[in-house]
Structure 1
Amino acid sequence: MKIGIIGSGNMGRSLGILWAEQGHQVFFGSRDAEKGKAVAEFAELGTQGGSNDQAVAFADVILWTVRGMMPTQLLSHPEALNGKIIIDCNNQEIPEGFAYPAIVESLAEKLAKDVPNARVVKAFNTMAQEVFELAPEPLRDYGVSVFVAADDEQARKTVMQLAEEIGFLPIDTGTLRNARLVEGLGDFIRLIIIGQEQGAYATICVNILPAAQEQRLGGRQASSLK
């Protein structure tokens, strides 16, 4: 698969290298083409590097790591994203005291509005970069979850496959509207990592427990709650 990385920071570099290790063709893009080339050289996996526009032209799947900038602001030809899968891994800036406002429109939804003919997927926003250093082993042993939300079902499945290849447990979280919840979860994880000083390796794992053999507490009673 051809994967373009938009932004040459920690997330883009790490995920790009991991996918290149799995045999995917990866192009690292940057506003400074020389920086993109430098990341590709660092990877030493036959990856390519250059400008963000070159990364978009190259790829079928785009990892969007640029926080606070839309494609129409960053790219010379944002229409080149039409039909392509865009993975948004961003969270909003951390406010003073972690006093986040309610999320009424997710960053992923804003991205989808900016490029309505692209296939936007929310994923990879609930862990710090350090977790990627464990991929794919021993990451698989811990069952670390990646929450994947998108309106396009095939795009969602593609990103889930990409997550599984590098050792994560992908969780299908439905439509892109649910990115509001996924981004809120990312904010909570950063509270745990930074605000509660649990460290960068604190993350979320979803476990499905076996059903109880008996209901000694009376079981779930009918109510208006779902």
Structure 2
Amino acid sequence: MKIGIIGSGNMGRSLGILWAEQGHQVFFGARTAEKGKAVAESAGQGTQGGTNDEAAAFGDVILYSARGVDPVEVLSSTAVLTGKILIDPNNSTIPAEFAYEPIEKSLAEILAEQVPNAIVVKAFNTMAQEVFELAPEPLRGHRVSVFVASDNETARQTVMQLAEEIGFVAIDSGRLRNARMIETIGDFIRFVIIGQQQGSYATISVDVLPAVETQRLGGRQASDLK
């Protein structure tokens, strides 16, 4: 798969290297060709580097890790993203005392409005970037969940596969509107991490438990969750 990285900081560089290790073709983009090429040279694994425009043109899948920067500020034209999968791994800036306003629209939904020609997928926002250093092993043994949301089922499955390849457990999280909840999970994870001692990184592992065969704690009404 051809993957373009827009925003080659910690997140973009880490995921780009991991995907390159799995045999994908990766192109690191930056505001200048020199910076993009420098990132690729440092990353190795046969990766390429250049401008953000070149990364967007190269990839069938684009990781958009340029947090807080609109696509029109990063690309000469957003038309280059037409029909491409655009992964949004971003979280909002942490406010004082974690006093978040209620989410009316997720960052992923806003990104989708800015580039309606692309297929936006929310993923990789619920763990510290240091966690990628453990991928794919021993990360796989910890069964860390990646929540993946998009209005396009094929795009969801593609990103879920990319997550599984590098040691995560992908959780199909349905339509893009659900990114509001996924981003809230990311906010909570950062809250927990900040409260821990330095060097520890909380994650979420979603598992499926077996059905209860007997009710030893007394009869109860069946759950109405559907």
TM-score range, shorter chain: over 0.9
Which residue is 2:140 aligned to?
140
2:45 paired with 1:45? yes
TM-score normalized with structure 1 length: 0.96
Q: 1:194 to 1:171 in 2, by over 3 A?
A: same
**Aligned equivalents of 2:159 and 2:223: distance in 1?**
37
Q: 2: CA distance between counterparts of 1:90 and 1:107? A: 7
1:213 is displaced (CA, Å) by 2.6
Report the secondary structure of 1:50's partner residue. strand
Match for residue 72 of structure 2? 72
Aligned twin of 2:92:
92
The answer (yes or no) to whether the contact 1:27–1:47 under 8 Å persists in 2 is yes
1:208: Cα distance to partner? 1.0
Q: CA deviation at 1:117?
A: 1.4
Aligned-residue RMSD, C-alpha: 1.5
Structure 1 position 33, deviation (Å): 2.1
Match of 1:102 in 2: 102
Unaligned runs of 5+ in 1: none
| Distance in 1, Cα, partners of 2:207 & 2:152 | 26
Say whether 1:168 aligns with 2:188.
no
- Quick check: 1:189 aligned with 2:205? no
Secondary structure of the structure 1 residue equivalent to 2:134: coil
State the Cα distance separating 1:200 from its structure 2 match.
4.5
- Could you list the per-position Cα deviations for residues 153-203 of structure 1 after superposition, in whole angstroms to 9, with x for gaps in the alignment? 000000000000000000000000000000000000000001444745211
How many angstroms apart in 1 are the aligned matches of 2:169 and 2:141? 10
Q: Deviations over 1:94-117 (max 9, x none)?
A: 000111111110000000000111
* Number of residue pairs matched by the alignment: 226
Give the Å deviation of 1:147.
Answer: 0.2
Q: Give yes or no for the alignment of 1:152 onto 2:152.
A: yes
C-alpha deviation, 1:35, in angstroms: 1.4
Quote how far apart the aligned CAs of 1:42 are: 0.7
Letter in 2 for 1:32: T
Q: Report the AA paired with residue 46 of structure 1.
A: G
Q: Distance in 2 between matches of 1:223 and 1:211?
A: 12
1:114-133 matched pairs, under 5 angstroms? 114-133=114-133
Tell me the residue number matched to 1:212: 212
**C-alpha displacement at 1:36, in angstroms?**
1.1
Q: Distance in 2 between matches of 1:12 and 1:200?
A: 21
Hey, what's the Cα distance between the residues in 2 that align with 1:38 and 1:201? Answer: 29
Per the alignment, do residues 99 and 4 of structure 1 end up closer, same or farther by CA in structure 2, a change over 3 Å counting? same
Letter in 2 for 1:178: N
1:201 aligns with 2:198: no
Q: Say which SS state the counterpart of residue 150 (structure 1) adopts.
A: coil
What is the letter of the counterpart of residue 141 of structure 1?
Answer: G
Which stretch has the larger CA shift, 156-165 or 194-203? 194-203
- 1:193 partner amino acid: I
Return the offset for 1:210.
1.5
The worse-fitting range, judged by mean Cα deviation, of 206-215 and 132-141 is 206-215
Alignment check: 8 A CA contact 1:192 1:198 kept: no
The whole-number CA distance in structure 1 between the counterparts of 2:206 and 2:149 is 16
Percent of aligned positions with the same letter in both sequences?
Answer: 73
